[in-house]
Amino acid sequence: MASDKIYDKIHEQSPWQDITEGNKIFEAATSKDFCTGEWRTATPMWAVERCKQCLLCTPVCPDSSIPVTAGKREDFDYDHCKGCGICAKVCPFGAISMREGK
């Protein structure tokens, strides 16, 4: 399927002639398109029944991996969560626990 995404034009099979000059990337926020959650070695688990929706966890996440819709948090974005554990630390209600591994 045709796409105007930079990684569809330049990828790991691209010949050197197709590399942009100075590796310039003519797009913003491309980090969203890469599943950097693969790096994770510990995983936050959300216990919905304990969650009071206080939303203290969302702003402390360094990777914006706790999506909020209509004023309520949803489950983690595991494509980008690095498992740092700050959310678990900040939760006053024990609604987030860290599990070893991905």
Partner 1 sequence: MAVRERLSGNEAVAYAVKQINPDVMPAFPITPSTEIPQYVANYIANGEIDTEFIHVESEHSAMSATIGASAAGARAVTATSSCGMALMWEELYVAASNRLPIVLALVNRALSGPININADHSDSMGARDSGWIQIYAESNQEVYDNFIQAFPIAEDKRVHLPVMVCQDGFITSHGVENILLVEDDKVKQFVGEYEPEHYLLKETERMALGPYAVSNYYMETKRAQRQAMCSAREVILEVAARFEEMTGRKYSFFEEYQMEDAEYAVVIIGSAAGTCKAAVEEIRAATGKKVGLLKIRVFRPFPEEEIAKALSKVKSVAVMDRSEMFSATSGPLGAEVRAAMYQAHSTAEVVNYFYGLGGRDITVSDFKKVYDNLEMIAKTHVVTGMYEYIGLRSAQSEEV
- Chain residues binding partner 1 by CB under 8 A are 12, 14-17, 19, 21-28, 30
Report the b/e string of 15-48 with b at 16+ CB within 10 A: eeeeeeeeeeeeeeeeeeeeeebeebeebbebee
Q: Which is nearer to partner 1, 20 or 53 (CB)?
A: 20
Which of residues 2 and 26 has its CB atom nearest to partner 1 in the complex? 26
Which of 46, 37, 61 has its CA nearest to residue 99?
46
| In the complex, minimum distance from the CB of residue 26 to partner 1, in angstroms, rounded to a whole number | 5
Residue (27 or 75) nearer to partner 1, CB: 27
